[in-house]
Structure 1
């Protein structure tokens, strides 16, 4: 036991040993992580990419996307086509960039050198790292809200824990506790190798959409759709045209960063053709999940008398504690999957390029 403690306290125990590259003699230029993916690790199929986007599409920001479009004066009949067109455009970029990774089996930082050169490629890589870190923090906070709803469903008294933090901190004692707990829940998934993490996406692709469908069925059974489906556009002429363009731009921006570094995932494709399915599944999945958000929000407006765009705020109003727990668990898992796919792996690949070891 004493020997183990000594090892843990030694610096050498925590140091990462350099893994030599197959193509460069110096660790300064490359390492094993940036090599082409070995044949035995090229395991992602068409169904894995479908489950990847099913898992990535079901999250709180997608659920809320249509709300911003309705708020500027579009009807739901105009918001959904804007979401579909925007995501079809981004799907073209994802598939085009993904083809490079699927054929050469190399990550984004290596591909980036062919466009910017070795030294200037660091600028775009650092830019992607910064974006990933910001979004990682945002999604982690969203996940902490799901953890709060899970704990509240089990222990209702958690809502009455006094806040010991000042108002200027913009977070409560319970909030920081749930943030820490979510970090602990999320941490093991961050340690899984990218070519194996597809099993998380498969699990999320089954659980998360099932939860969304259950919530949508509940919405239609309780209200028949609600007043949002009867809402008409409040804009016309050029104002309507600009609003539609703005809505499409919002949809495009949702995954613009991931479309750049999608080779980090398509490099694991079994065949270059397997990733082509993305051009179809991305617009279909995101449009359907946005429709779920509109339907459930509409039901909440009828039942509770106010528009609750955040699904976790809606869950907070439920009296059925079991339903609240399982729905919150689905959103917690959904956020983990999104954080791993869109932020963690992306930043990790970029860091290996910046500081290869």
Structure 2
């Protein structure tokens, strides 16, 4: 039993056996529901718009998701083993107070994603209104009303708590599977079969020009789920067993992303055949259909998918992260409200202004911040501690995770170096490759620096950090 302190509240405390209700299906459904949404589609379609053929695009997506699955499963282990959320887990490496640094970095990125998803959901609603009321297409205020309305809908679900998320995703995943296949078959029919859809050649004439585009896109693929690779303990803390979350994620993430990305790739390729240009936004594409019923039904599917991923991926983590700042004052609900307000302040309509801004500005840019955090977390838990945590000490001052007044200067130094090295490619043209590989550079550099600095402790200090577990494991 964790005693009440300034470092805990009901949302941050370890889960009890009664809370362990998520089985393998729930994690498969989680990834299918979070993958089958507009930004995944647009991520895949941007590869086609950038010049890849369908085979190159699909291979890039599969490789990126297999790569990000590794830190995803590694960080998920502690959540399932000890029942602790991300902002508590990261206290082991950054310190009891220092954990707020990576938690807030993750939260800010999630707020940006929340705004992006809310904007896209608002666009989908506006497109449905346009189908029913064509004159509204010339009324800009309709879009803004739809955007704010969808934002309010997200807030209502946040207020109902995490179990409403599991309920929503369990039933929406099969629905989204059916609707996605319907959209694919419809576009196959419009394009005259799969042949014309997938026959477009690669626009890259040389291997060098292809690789120049490939590596930043691969980083974007990894960066797409870099957020979840950090806060996945927020979900695996509810796992019935370690095996249920491992099998559910190992199957759900790569299969769902590859499947739905293929739909985005195929439909975008078909748009070139049908409309004479690759249309990377499904909302814009559906707006070109003259069959109101088809467009309306497809837009409803996009809306449900956007709602799913926004709540599951972009509210749970920042709500816990903000709660970690002041556990007695900020609950999960209050953290969710903060997330929603910051999402509006980050002006998502600018982040999604073009596929170049979306990929190279947003996805690659924030991966430079989150890659180092992931590297430090994995190195600390597996290489420094051998998966052993003193759970009680994660919730009280003065224990092995106190470091220097609650901050671990070694983790902070490793984080700063990893971020700065990755971002220097933005200002030094000859080092642009460091930014193109931002997540990889930050992950491996920060983890290596962290291990070296931590092992430079005296034997007495090292012994205190690796003491045996004093709290019975959750599993």
TM-score by length of 2: 0.66
> Separation in 2 of the partners of 1:317 and 1:226?
22
The match for 1:91 among 61, 69, 84 is 69
The match for 1:236 among 184, 206, 220 is 206
Matches within 5 A, 1:116-155: 116-155=94-133
Give the equivalent residue in structure 2 for 1:315: 286
**Contact 1:147-1:178 at 8 Å conserved across structures:** yes
1:51 has 2:29 as partner: yes
RMSD: 1.7
User: 1:212-251 deviations in whole A, cap 9, x for unaligned?
Assistant: 1001011112221365522222242333334333332121
Unaligned ranges ≥5, structure 2: 329-475
Give 3-state SS (helix, strand or coil) of 2:280's partner: coil
The match for 2:221 among 251, 266, 273 is 251
Shift of 1:199: 1.2
**Contact 1:76-1:228 at 8 Å conserved across structures:** no
User: 1:180-234 deviations in whole A, cap 9, x for unaligned?
Assistant: 2212332221123213421111222122221110010111122213655222222
> Separation in 1 of the partners of 2:145 and 2:15?
39
> Separation in 2 of the partners of 1:336 and 1:67?
21
Shift of 1:308: 1.4
Change (3 A) 1:305 1:130: same
> Separation in 2 of the partners of 1:203 and 1:50?
12
> Separation in 1 of the partners of 2:81 and 2:282?
39
- Return 247-256 or 177-186, whichever deviates more: 177-186
Shift of 1:41: 1.6
Moved over 4 A (4+): none
Matches within 5 A, 1:23-62: 23-26=2-5, 28-62=6-40
User: 1:114-159 deviations in whole A, cap 9, x for unaligned?
Assistant: 0111121111111111111111111100110011122222333322
Give the equivalent residue in structure 2 for 1:75: 53
User: 1:3-29 deviations in whole A, cap 9, x for unaligned?
Assistant: xxxxxxxxxxxxxxxxxxx52342x21
Give the equivalent residue in structure 2 for 1:260: 230
Give the equivalent residue in structure 1 for 2:256: 285
> Separation in 1 of the partners of 2:286 and 2:45?
17
User: What is the count of residue pairs matched by the alignment?
Assistant: 325
Give the equivalent residue in structure 2 for 1:173: 141
> Separation in 2 of the partners of 1:86 and 1:160?
40
> Separation in 1 of the partners of 2:323 and 2:46?
37
> Separation in 2 of the partners of 1:290 and 1:158?
31
> Separation in 2 of the partners of 1:222 and 1:248?
31
Change (3 A) 1:157 1:203: farther
Q: RCO greater where, 1 or 2, for CA within 8 Å and sep 6 or more? A: 1
**Contact 1:88-1:283 at 8 Å conserved across structures:** yes
Matches within 5 A, 1:181-220: 181-220=149-188
> Separation in 1 of the partners of 2:4 and 2:281?
52
Unaligned ranges ≥5, structure 1: 1-21, 162-171
> Separation in 2 of the partners of 1:37 and 1:266?
10
- Return 227-236 or 288-297, whichever deviates more: 227-236
> Separation in 2 of the partners of 1:70 and 1:296?
10
**Contact 1:226-1:301 at 8 Å conserved across structures:** no
Give the equivalent residue in structure 1 for 2:272: 301
Change (3 A) 1:235 1:346: farther
> Separation in 2 of the partners of 1:110 and 1:25?
14
Give the equivalent residue in structure 2 for 1:328: 299
Give the equivalent residue in structure 1 for 2:355: none
**Contact 2:128-2:296 at 8 Å conserved across structures:** yes
> Separation in 2 of the partners of 1:71 and 1:147?
25
TM-score by length of 1: 0.86
Shift of 1:305: 2.5
> Separation in 1 of the partners of 2:112 and 2:266?
30
> Separation in 1 of the partners of 2:87 and 2:61?
30
